[in-house]
């Protein structure tokens, strides 16, 4: 009886982890502008994929493996999925070894950098946002506390 329960529990954890942490599954990459960001603070790397066709063809291309979540400890990295500058989903991973990435995803990464811009007010936000909408520049909205306001987090490809 105990063995059966342990096996069932392990199976539930195994199957639910890959499904719940599958950041690309069930997305319509034909609508909107999408950006996948993989930032690893331990390795000091930031990688971007802005090609929607790569994201669409890799529905099961990136997810956290069982045991790789950061339940009660500090995470090494985050995978973030943005649509039209808004964060759609974020997954955290304990270390890169616990992150499954398909060969296509790994080969599609481009090195990037991130910068923050703190607009003074909503008019300033709009002006700065519009000025950042150009090639190799990916502005996103980040809400910060305790100020309770939106700032612009910009990702840019390294040249």
pLDDT, tens digit, 9 for 90 and up, residues 16-47: 333 457 899 999 999 999 999 999 998 999 99
- Check pLDDT > 50 for residue 13: no
The pTM of the full predicted model, rounded to 2 decimals, is: 0.82
Task: Determine, yes or no, domain membership for 123.
Answer: no
Task: Determine, yes or no, domain membership for 18.
Answer: yes
DSSP helix, strand, coil percent of the chain (3-state; round to 5): 30, 35, 35
Q: With contact defined as beta carbons under 8 Å apart, do 107 and 70 qualify? A: no
Percent with pLDDT over 90 in the chain: 62
- Check pLDDT > 60 for residue 127: yes
pLDDT score at 136: 80
Parallel/antiparallel/unpaired status of strands 45-49 and 149-157: unpaired
27: Cβ contacts below 8 Å, ≥ 6 apart: 34, 55, 56, 59, 81, 88
Task: Determine, yes or no, domain membership for 91.
Answer: yes
Task: Determine, yes or no, domain membership for 35.
Answer: yes
Number of compact structural domains in the chain: 1
pLDDT per residue as tens digits for the range 53-87: 999 999 999 998 887 776 667 788 999 999 999 99
pLDDT score at 65: 84
- Domain containing 14: what range? 2-112
* Across 109-115, average pLDDT: 96
Task: Determine, yes or no, domain membership for 120.
Answer: no
pLDDT score at 72: 66
Task: Determine, yes or no, domain membership for 108.
Answer: yes
- Check pLDDT > 60 for residue 15: no
Cα distance between residue 96 and residue 76, in whole Å: 8
- Check pLDDT > 70 for residue 157: yes
Task: Determine, yes or no, domain membership for 15.
Answer: yes
Task: Determine, yes or no, domain membership for 76.
Answer: yes
């Amino acid at each position: 009886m105990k063995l059966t329960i342990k096996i069932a529990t392990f199976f539930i954890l195994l199957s639910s982890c890959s499904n719940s942490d599958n950041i690309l599954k069930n997305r319509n990459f034909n609508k909107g502008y999408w950006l996948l960001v993989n930032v690893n603070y331990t390795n000091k790397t930031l990688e971007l994929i802005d090609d929607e066709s790569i994201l669409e063809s890799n529905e099961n291309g990136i997810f956290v493996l069982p045991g790789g979540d950061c339940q009660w400890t500090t995470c090494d990295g985050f995978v973030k999925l943005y649509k039209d500058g808004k964060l759609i989903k974020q997954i955290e991973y304990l270390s890169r070894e616990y992150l499954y990435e398909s060969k296509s995803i790994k080969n599609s990464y481009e090195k990037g950098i991130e910068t923050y811009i703190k607009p003074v007010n909503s008019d300033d936000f709009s002006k700065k946002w519009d000025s950042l909408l150009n090639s190799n520049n990916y502005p996103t909205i980040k809400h910060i506390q305790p100020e309770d306001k939106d700032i612009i987090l910009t990702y840019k490809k390294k040249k």
